[in-house]
Structure 1
Amino acid sequence: MTALPVLAAALAVAQAVPAPAPQDPAAPVAVELTAVQLLALATARAEEGDVATAEALFAALARDPDLDIRSEARFRHGRMLEAQNRFADAAVLYRAILDEQPGAQRVRLQLARALLFAGDEGGAARALRQAQAGGLPPDVQQVVAQFQGALRAVQPVGGSFELALAPSTNINRATRSNTLDTVIAPLELSEDAQAQSGLGAKLAGQGFVRLPLSSRLRWTLRASGQGFLYRKSAFNDIIVQLETGLEYTAGKSRLQPSIGRSQRWFGGRPFVDTDLASLSWLRALGRRSQLDVSLAVGRSNFRQNDLQDGTSYDLGVGLEHAFDARSGGRLSLTGQRLDARDPGYATTGGGAGLLYYRELGRTTAFASASLSYLEADGRIVLFPSRRVEWLARATLGATLRQASVRGFAPAVRLAYERNISTVGLFDFSRTGVELGITRAF
């Protein structure tokens, strides 16, 4: 068993354990405790309310060479943090255990609980599916049932944010050609209308409030926003959205009707305002899978071009599945329709996407790919061809928890887009990188 020396300078610890009489009264006193004794001492300090000493001891034991010791220390530390309502910090510790012991299903269930009360309802449900995919003893299924019930009573207030550097080869998703074919003559494009590379900053965040109206019904208010900011402010792209609605839960299903409004600015100028009404349905399919269906209707007012104004219809279907305790995936299908004032801007489209994620030690890696199709009802007056295009996207990314600091970990994403269009103005390719920070759970 590993032994850790605790010097007399650590007064809180030294005073808690009787020290043997020193041979030389003038010599410094050192007390040597086994890791098990330190673990018991840390637990006792936590139960007595001496949080500072308990945290110091748990943190030291989390670096112990013995896997069982450091895992137990992290688990007890996490439980102490949960008792103080520090659920996000507890989730970081549970995730650290699972990085080394992915088969610790009891810990994964505790992670689900911590995520739930930290406000990450989606992450909690995902952790729960992974736990069940890894196999659970019959007696633990009762705990799972408790968690599934708790998903109806998540934190009333919560939120999240993301901060990243975002270099891109095409920040404005524009063509690389300096001319465009038109019905009149080739049109020469200004430099700002062509593809521009640059280094930007991505800021994103969301916050919510949930108030229970009954055991099954909640009122919700959610605000979200995302912005890409560049040195050339003409390419800044900012969108904010506010929505309110209800959440009705019955058995394994949840129904969410809502209304809201979004506003988008491009280059510091108002671009489009949209009033939205949506309905989503979520259904658990067995222990490993979840199905979600969403339908949204919006009325858009394009501030720079009235010909684009119209009503949009969006349909989405997604199926998420946990393959095992460390990996999972998602299949999504989408359909869109925009009834714009001008047939050249009225479009119909659809697409499909795949996502796969896997925990690799202390790294969570993911890969995604999607392909979508779009066509316009007619041609835009200036261009000789009706708009028809295919858009392909591919993304690779990872969260690097081995470099976490104060509960935050670096995250990296590499994305590639290629849009093939019959109208040169919309034909582009783009490679982008996002280097940012995120919560380490």
Structure 2
Amino acid sequence: RAAERELRAAEAAGLPSEVERVVRFYANVLNSRKRFGGSFEVALAPDTNINRATRSDTLGTVIGDFTLDENAKAKSGVGLGLRGQTYFRQPMGANADMLLRASGNADVYVASRFNDLSGSLRIGPEFTSGKDRLVLSAGPGWRWFGQKLYTFTLGGNASWQHPLTPRSQVRIEGAVSRVDNRINDLQDAWNYTLSSTYDHAFSGKLGAGVQFYGFRESASDPGYSTTTGGLGAYAYREVGRATLVATAGYARLEADRRLALYPRRRMEDRLSASLAATLRAVRVGAFSPMARVKWERNASSIEIYDYRRLSAEFGITSAF
């Protein structure tokens, strides 16, 4: 179970943050036929850049360089990370179930203006045919920055899982959603995601996988419309009663047009990597300690989007 939890996170490595949450959310129950289940994680999270902001003192514009406010620049801090998700499965027949799922994420800091919270609800049918599985679902999602609602999302998702051999499988997922940005109407958008993941177990204790994905954000203002393509890879290893998972990812983002304020069109290359360990040899009830280290580098043509980040999480995790 520890390996499954970490692999769900690994499979989402490199995706835009809003897509990453959806991928984790849907992947959590694909390999289970339990009626009820879920997972929970709480961790202290030191971070060199809690707001994923630039360290530059200025922002280049078409009318000259602006001096950035301190709140617009990178801030370090220690937060509390909370992750939880649960599902309920109602059988509808020999090869069909109805799934209800809920998930929540929170990164909370002493300076509440940096708090990042999100939640999602999904409902839809799950069909099985032989060893294939198809899941369809739809529902709302919310995200808050600080104490304010940032986006409201309503969308749907389809996921198909197919075993290729006894040790390998492929998953294809697609999603479409309408995003209502409560801060800036020009960023209201239709989002489209398509991903393909290949998983292979070399043995009972060693496995790896690779994912390719595309993400399209079609916003009201073409300057905020972006297209992203990327790939991610993961590997896991069981060492005694510990699970180690390593991930790496790359993504390329390009905006449709230049925003009027900036001298260049937004173009970015994002690199990410992580290493996680879950220690099942040390347990407190149903909880096991975990540690995770993550690194990100986003190189952008626009200073305000250019950042570096190193973060860690030390806490406990449990699945039921």
Alignment of 1:379 with 2:258, yes or no, is yes
Deviation at residue 402 of structure 1 after TM alignment? 2.6
Tell me the equivalent position of 1:160: 39
Tell me the equivalent position of 2:176: 297
Tell me the equivalent position of 1:360: 239
Task: Check conservation: 1:181, 1:384, Cα contact below 8 A.
Answer: yes
Q: Which has the higher strand share?
A: 2
| Equivalent-residue separation in structure 1 for 2:157 and 2:241 (angstroms) | 38
Deviation at residue 435 of structure 1 after TM alignment? 0.4
| Equivalent-residue separation in structure 1 for 2:294 and 2:136 (angstroms) | 33
| Equivalent-residue separation in structure 1 for 2:158 and 2:243 (angstroms) | 31
Report which of the two structures shows the higher radius of gyration computed on alpha carbons.
Answer: 1
Tell me the equivalent position of 2:186: 307
Tell me the equivalent position of 1:273: 152
Q: CA RMSD in A?
A: 1.5
| Equivalent-residue separation in structure 1 for 2:43 and 2:290 (angstroms) | 9
Tell me the equivalent position of 2:136: 257
Which of 280, 283, 304 is the matching residue for 1:404?
283
Deviation at residue 403 of structure 1 after TM alignment? 2.2
- TM-score, normalised on structure 2? 0.89
- Is the partner of 2:93 in helix, strand or coil? coil
Task: Check conservation: 1:409, 1:440, Cα contact below 8 A.
Answer: no
How is 1:34-433 mapped onto 2 (pairs within 5 angstroms)? 125=31, 154-433=33-312
| Aligned amino acid, residue 50 of structure 2 | I
- Is the partner of 1:352 in helix, strand or coil? strand
Deviation at residue 155 of structure 1 after TM alignment? 2.4
Task: Check conservation: 1:175, 1:427, Cα contact below 8 A.
Answer: yes
Deviation at residue 401 of structure 1 after TM alignment? 2.0
Task: Check conservation: 2:38, 2:319, Cα contact below 8 A.
Answer: no
| Equivalent-residue separation in structure 1 for 2:215 and 2:244 (angstroms) | 30
Q: Which has the higher helix share?
A: 1
Deviation at residue 420 of structure 1 after TM alignment? 0.2
Change (3 A) 1:302 1:121: closer
Deviation at residue 439 of structure 1 after TM alignment? 3.1
Unpaired stretches in structure 1, ≥5 consecutive residues: 1-90, 93-119, 126-150
Task: Check conservation: 1:228, 1:238, Cα contact below 8 A.
Answer: yes
| Equivalent-residue separation in structure 1 for 2:173 and 2:319 (angstroms) | 29
Give CA deviations for 1:35-65 in whole Å, capped at 9, x if unaligned. xxxxxxxxxxxxxxxxxxxxxxxxxxxxxxx
Deviates more, 1:405-414 or 1:305-314: 405-414
Alignment coverage as a number of residue pairs: 295
Deviation at residue 210 of structure 1 after TM alignment? 0.9
| Aligned amino acid, residue 183 of structure 1 | V
Deviation at residue 336 of structure 1 after TM alignment? 0.6
Deviation at residue 404 of structure 1 after TM alignment? 2.0
Q: Which has the higher contact order (CA 8 A, sep 6+)?
A: 2
| Equivalent-residue separation in structure 1 for 2:194 and 2:263 (angstroms) | 31
Task: Check conservation: 1:162, 1:204, Cα contact below 8 A.
Answer: yes
- Is the partner of 1:234 in helix, strand or coil? helix
| Equivalent-residue separation in structure 2 for 1:239 and 1:334 (angstroms) | 22
- Is the partner of 1:402 in helix, strand or coil? coil
State percent identity of aligned pairs. 45
Unpaired stretches in structure 2, ≥5 consecutive residues: 3-27
| Equivalent-residue separation in structure 2 for 1:416 and 1:260 (angstroms) | 32
Task: Check conservation: 2:158, 2:174, Cα contact below 8 A.
Answer: yes
| Equivalent-residue separation in structure 2 for 1:440 and 1:254 (angstroms) | 22
Deviation at residue 286 of structure 1 after TM alignment? 1.4
| Equivalent-residue separation in structure 2 for 1:121 and 1:204 (angstroms) | 16
| Equivalent-residue separation in structure 2 for 1:222 and 1:373 (angstroms) | 31
| Aligned amino acid, residue 37 of structure 2 | G
- Is the partner of 1:406 in helix, strand or coil? coil
| Equivalent-residue separation in structure 2 for 1:389 and 1:369 (angstroms) | 17
